[in-house]
Homo-oligomer: A and B are copies of this chain.
């Protein structure tokens, strides 16, 4: 019953990837909370989660490699496994962005807190939703849900540009706040990048769901 075993392994791969997605999403959300509330202990916890994410990335890659090496996956499964490898990389990079935010929260601990005319918390929540939706789209093979992630990315890009415009103004008006303003700009860019990775994941899901169909139809035509 090698095929049954194969499908069990495929299910295990999906489970592992979903567990990793949960870690990445959690890391990102906690890093924003740590920055907003200046919670150094929480920021340090994010750095711990990142280690778990890196370990999970290696495991997912190895599982995908084993599946490719020992089985001869059919077109749709092959495309799924290749999507998993790419999504795995994007999730790890979301973890990197969370780490960047957490490190900045730790470094800012010694600086006076100032009010900045931006809403990082809101931006972080939106990016969290994007990651959750992208993963749900994968789980349910839902290309339409994937598309909703792409639409949200435009909004995050706009927010990121607005943050930059606002904070250059702050830097010029209140130079003593430059360092805090710069940190906020960079955290905004970290979030924008995490949103890009969520977008990549959604695109991979759409490609997997729709592309595999297209490919399957093509191979029927091409077969000779």
A residues with a Cβ closer than 8 A to B are: 65, 68-69, 72, 75, 78-79, 82, 85-86, 89, 164, 168, 171-173, 175-176, 178-179, 182, 185-186, 189
A142 CB to nearest B CB, Å: 22
Chain B residues with CB under 8 A of A179: 168, 172
A101 CB to nearest B CB, Å: 14
Which single member of B69, B78, B172, B185 contacts A65 (CB below 8 Å)?
B78
Chain B residues with CB under 8 A of A186: 189
Which single member of B72, B75, B168, B173 contacts A182 (CB below 8 Å)?
B168
Q: Is there an interface contact between A178 and B171, defined as CB atoms closer than 8 Å?
A: yes
Which single member of B68, B79, B82 contacts A78 (CB below 8 Å)?
B68
Chain B residues with CB under 8 A of A176: 172
- Main secondary structure on A side of the interface with B: helix
- Copies of the chain in the assembly: 2
Q: How far is the CA of A182 from the CA of B182 in the complex (A)?
A: 8
7 A–B contacts, CB within 8 A, in A order: A85-B86, A86-B89, A171-B175, A171-B182, A172-B175, A173-B175, A175-B178
Q: Is there an interface contact between B172 and A178, defined as CB atoms closer than 8 Å?
A: yes
Chain B residues with CB under 8 A of A69: 75, 78
A68-B82, A172-B176, A178-B178 given. 19 additional CB < 8 A pairs? Answer: A65-B78, A65-B79, A65-B82, A68-B68, A68-B78, A69-B78, A72-B72, A85-B86, A89-B89, A168-B179, A168-B182, A171-B171, A171-B178, A172-B178, A172-B179, A175-B178, A182-B182, A186-B189, A189-B189
A207 CB to nearest B CB, Å: 10
Closest to A89 in B: B89
Chain B residues with CB under 8 A of A182: 164, 168, 171, 182, 185
Q: How far is the CA of A89 from the CA of B89 in the complex (A)?
A: 9
Q: How far is the CA of A81 from the CA of B218 in the complex (A)?
A: 23
Q: Is there an interface contact between B168 and A178, defined as CB atoms closer than 8 Å?
A: yes
Chain B residues with CB under 8 A of A171: 171, 175, 178, 182
A220 CB to nearest B CB, Å: 14
